[in-house]
Each structure stands twice: as C-alpha cells, then as structure tokens.
Structure 1
Amino acid sequence: MASIGRSGSGHSVQAAGVAFHASAVRRTGWQELSERYPQDRDCLASFLVLELAEVLQGEKPANLVCLANKRRSCGRNLYLLWKEHGQALLEESGLKVRVLADRGSSVLLLLYCPMALGSLLGQKSVQIILGKAGYQEPAEPEKVLSELEKRMAGEGFPHEIGVFLGYPLKDVVGFMGWAQISFTCQGPWKIFGNPAESLRLAETHRECRCRISQQLASGCNPHDCLKAAAAVRSKAAVAASRGVFLQVN
C-alpha cells in the first residue's frame, strides 16, 4: 500500500520501503539561472540542459520538451531561440530531435539519444508492446519515430509515448489498460503494480535534475554539459535496457 505524506520541506511517496522525495532538496529553477546568461544562445543551452538532465546523464533515452511561442519572464522567447540555435546546440551534444508538433503557438520536441533509443527498441518486450499499439516495424527507430509523429498529428494522444521516454513498461501498459495491474501511487507518472523499481527510477531522475541544477548554479558552462552527453551515450544504452520492467505483481 502506498502512502503520500510530507518529508522535511517536500512531499514524498513511500511504498515497499522505497521513498521518492519530490522536493527533498531545493534546486535552483531555470528562471533564476537564466539571469546568469545574457547571450541568447547560452540562455537556451541552460534551459535544454535542465530539461534534458536525465538524458544527458544516461538515465533516460528521451525527453519531451514543449516550447511556447511567447516571451518568458526573462524577456526571451525560447520558441524563437530554438528555431535559431537549437540544431547547433544539439550537434554539440550528440543528441537528436524529432519535431512531434509545431503549431506556431508552440513546438513539441522529442529529444533523444540515438544509441539509447536504439537499444530500447531492440528489446523484445518493447517490440511486443509497440507492435500491439500498431507500429509495423517496432525495431526500426526512424520508422517508429515517423509513426509517432504521425500519431501526434491525429486527434488522440499516443499514450505509448511512455515507452520512448523510458518509463517502466508495466506502468505504460497499466495506464493504457492493457493489463490487469492496479494503480499503486502517483509519482512523476502514474505507477501500477509493485512500485519499488518505478520509485527508484523516479528518484534517479530527480537526482539528475538536482545535479545539473547545482552545476549550473555553481557556474558550469551549459555548453560543456551538453558536450558531456556524447561521453555518456554508451551508459545511456545500458540504462535504457535496465529501465525495462515487465513484472506485474
């Protein structure tokens, strides 16, 4: 049985002896950090570094990033900055992007590590789930991403996107109603069945954000953080395999 309570100054979710501390350690938010970067390109780099913290550190294959076409409190429009500098910044990191939707008012990006995503799609269990979801060639990254992009343009929302983001498979199929797994607790995503591994993974993701935030707050150049992604791509591939949980108890 999961319980939600307070731990120190933040909320925590506890289940099976595992605790996920939603805000046990305060991290510096991007709005505060953005003031450190007078150059537009550096400002966008700092935003991407925070939003991609788990991917850059090899703990997730991909993240979704949504940029609204409006001026932020810092005075900058990240949507326009992405159009101008985004591709060059990704080249520094070795990551790739798939534009899932660009409505003019906002853009939804899937930013991913090619090696990690390829490793994830190479998992038989992942191929079975994506095949059931209607993906004709679930082991082919480009074809799978093209199908995902096509579905994003449709009327419904492709909830199987949780697979691409490295969420535990039991939580993805539980959320989609494909397996008789009971809802256990709410973390950064809805958790089904035994929550232990899911909560550990969520805590790992939180720690990634905290580390990047602390590095930027201490003066680390965001471009250096992006470049470091190339050095952890092999680790990301291992993490993608490790993150696939199929137990349903």
Structure 2
Amino acid sequence: MSQEIFEIVKQMNLDNLEVQIALQCAPLISGLRFSNLFNVNNEQADYLISLMNEMHISWKILFRGKEKLTMLLYKKDILENYFSDIRVKNILKNSGYEKNIVDEEDISGLIDTFADRYCCYMQTKKYFPHEMGLFLGYPVEDVEGYLKNNGENSLYTGYWKVYEDVAAKSSLFKRFEKAKEQIIWFLAQGVSIKNLENIAL
C-alpha cells in the first residue's frame, strides 16, 4: 500500500462497512477475482447483504460467531464456470464431495457442503477444509500444489501460496493491491462501493 493511501486509511472509520469491503474484497469488487471470504459484524450483515444484492454478488453464510459472520461472496456464473473444470471436479471428488453434487451444473450443493465443513472446522478446530482454495477461485494448479505438498514448498506467497507461474501470480497480486488503493481513494472522495463494481484498472 502506498504511503498516500495508507494515510487516507488512517483517517477512515475502520468500522465502516464499505471501508471493510474495500480492504477485504477489492479484487472481487473490481472484477479481478470472482469470490472472496468476508468477515462482518453481525449487526452489519443485513446491510452487507443488501449491498451485495444490488451489486449482483451472491453470498453464503459460512459461520456465525457471537460477534461476527464469515461469508463467502461470489459471482455465481463465473464460479460455476470455474467448477466445470475437470481438475476442479477431481479435487472435490478426492476431497469427499459427492459425485452427483460435483457433476451438477448448479454449484449450490457444493457451496452448502463447503459451508458445513467450514462451520464444523470453526466450531471444533479440526479437519480444515483445504479445498477452500477452490471456493476462493485460486488457480487450480496452486490448489493442486498446496494439497500435494501439504501446504509446504510453495514458490511464493501472496494472496495465496503459489506453486506455478510465479511471475504471473506476482503481477496479479500487484493488480489486487492497485484495486484496493483505487477503491479506497474513491471511497475517500465519497463514492459508494456499489458504484465501484468492475472499476477499470
């Protein structure tokens, strides 16, 4: 983050929902990613849902804690296309997802199963759902690399652990950071987050 944007963030109300969306989900809002985890205070959940509905971003509550919710925010059509990849399907099948759910075109069954697994992990701290990278739209080769190496031996770590094509992923992570800076700058000018969807970078 540049010093200029850092100074802007220091002056912002970090409890403001749109500021948190910018900090946590800028690549999703800008169109560089098609899914994202988002943690939100329980009392702000309804406002978040209304914003996401206005922006045509789908959502699923993964876990509800005493004070916060963890949600999966995603662009349904793009995520469905990603899940049509045979390598993605194979990872899900090998991770214990039912074959008939994996082979359906509608991904709601997959997301429901993932939500159950994530919730179980948050409650017990056992059996982390390592297939989560798929639901976050990570490149399948990096998810494969992560699973094969038990999370070790990555070539680079940014928004996720990279196992192939470091130069391209490093460049993409820089674009993610640029998206965050641009969205924060626009918010500081009074522009609503819902008017920044798919902002040109």
| TM-score, structure 2 as length reference | 0.80
1:79 aligns with 2:42: yes
1:163 aligns with 2:126: no
Which amino acid is the alignment partner of residue 82 of structure 2? L
Q: Are 1:45 and 1:89, in contact at CA under 8 Å, matched by a contact in 2?
A: no
> Is the partner of 2:5 in helix, strand or coil?
coil
Equivalent residue, structure 1, for 2:88: 126
Equivalent residue, structure 1, for 2:118: 152
Equivalent residue, structure 2, for 1:63: 36
Q: Specify every segment of 5 or more residues in structure 1 that has no aligned partner in the other structure, as ranges.
A: 1-22, 68-77, 233-249
Q: Specify every segment of 5 or more residues in structure 2 that has no aligned partner in the other structure, as ranges.
A: 121-125
Q: Provide the aligned length of Structure 1 versus Structure 2.
A: 189
Deviation readout 1:176-216 (Å, 9 max, x if unpaired): 2269x942122232222441222122122112112211211
1:51 CA displacement:
2.5
Which amino acid is the alignment partner of residue 11 of structure 2? E
1:113 aligns with 2:75: yes
1:46 CA displacement:
3.6
Q: Are 1:33 and 1:216, in contact at CA under 8 Å, matched by a contact in 2?
A: no
The 2-side partners of 1:31 and 1:104 are apart by 28
The 1-side partners of 2:164 and 2:193 are apart by 38
Superposed counterparts of 1:226-245, under 5 Å: 228=197
1:141 aligns with 2:141: no
1:31 CA displacement:
5.7
The 1-side partners of 2:138 and 2:59 are apart by 19
> Is the partner of 1:153 in helix, strand or coil?
helix
The 1-side partners of 2:158 and 2:32 are apart by 17
Equivalent residue, structure 2, for 1:17: none
Which amino acid is the alignment partner of residue 54 of structure 1? P
> Is the partner of 1:109 in helix, strand or coil?
strand
Which amino acid is the alignment partner of residue 37 of structure 2? L
1:27 aligns with 2:5: yes
The 2-side partners of 1:26 and 1:160 are apart by 37
The 2-side partners of 1:86 and 1:100 are apart by 15
1:97 aligns with 2:97: no
Which amino acid is the alignment partner of residue 13 of structure 2? S
- Of structures 1 and 2, the larger Rg is shown by 1
Which amino acid is the alignment partner of residue 12 of structure 2? L
The alpha-carbon distance between structure 1 residues 223 and 187, as it changes in their structure 2 partners (threshold 3 A), is closer
| TM-score, structure 1 as length reference | 0.66
1:172 CA displacement:
1.4
Higher helix share: 2
1:85 CA displacement:
1.8
Could you say what the CA RMSD is over the residues aligned between the two structures, in angstroms? 2.7
Equivalent residue, structure 1, for 2:155: 184
> Is the partner of 1:48 in helix, strand or coil?
helix
The 1-side partners of 2:161 and 2:194 are apart by 33
The alpha-carbon distance between structure 1 residues 193 and 96, as it changes in their structure 2 partners (threshold 3 A), is closer
Matched-pair identity in %: 22
Q: Are 2:34 and 2:136, in contact at CA under 8 Å, matched by a contact in 1?
A: yes
Equivalent residue, structure 1, for 2:18: 45
Q: Are 1:61 and 1:164, in contact at CA under 8 Å, matched by a contact in 2?
A: no
Higher strand share: 1
The 2-side partners of 1:49 and 1:185 are apart by 24
